[in-house]
Amino acid sequence: MPFSVALAGKGGTGKTTIAGMLVKYLVMKGKKPVLAVDADSNANLNEVLGLEISDTLGNAREEMKKGQVPSGMTKDVFISMRLEQAVIEAGEYDLIIMGQPEGAGCYCAANSLLTGFLERLTGNYPYIVMDNEAGMEHISRLTTRNVDVLLIVADTSRRGLQAATRIHELAHNLNIGVTRSCLVINQVKEEPSEAVMNIIRDSGLELIGTIPENDGVYEYDLNGQATVEMPEDNEAVQAAYQIFEKIIS
């Protein structure tokens, strides 16, 4: 079974950037190949990794729903083919983008087929990093399930911390197979206050580390540069690596 890490949190906390750093860390440590999964309907993990989007699983869902399966080809074979086409290969890791349905109607059959083939695909990778959409929808829809580490990313705001604790509670209440939930506070300017620590302690979340606010991260993002190309002596990168050392087996 692959070791899987799923990232979650309120929008704007930097979880996608952290997901990209985690992919780079795993490759650097020789824990490869890695499968990176962008499960956010507003896909941008590819930008953090410096990759061009060639296809998404959402496109396959649309084609199947619209009856665009080639004559003489079963839906199973079609979905399998389109899944392989949607994998973006980057050498030591691959990226797959879930995308989103574009039209109204039921996608149950397509989603069911995709889920089955994704499970077969993930068996080829010892490590999986899944970047989820902001908020809690992916939890309530059970998109995130059976993961070794749920890495919940928050900023220093009260709302960010509240969102993090709610995600933790929902994942626990739904019993979706999360082995370990960890909290990362990103973009910090100073050590968490006692009030912040009280919120975390009351939630039962494990605070695994903080990542400082960093101009380098902001500049790379502003200029459209892949943040995984940031120098490894950058303080935010170093802080993230120290966190990853605590969760990667």
The answer, as to whether pTM is greater than 0.85, is yes
Of 50, 6, 48, the residue nearest 217 (C-alpha): 48
Q: Give pLDDT tens digits for 142-188.
A: 456 678 999 999 988 888 888 899 999 888 888 778 889 999 999 99
Q: Give pLDDT tens digits for 32-44.
A: 999 998 887 778 9
CATH number for the domain running over 3-247: 3.40.50.300
Residue 170: left (phi > 0), alpha (psi -120 to 50), or beta? Answer: alpha
Classified as helix, coil or strand, 88 is strand
Mean pLDDT, the chain, integer: 86
Cis upstream peptide for 33 (omega within 30°): yes
Domain ranges of the chain: 3-247
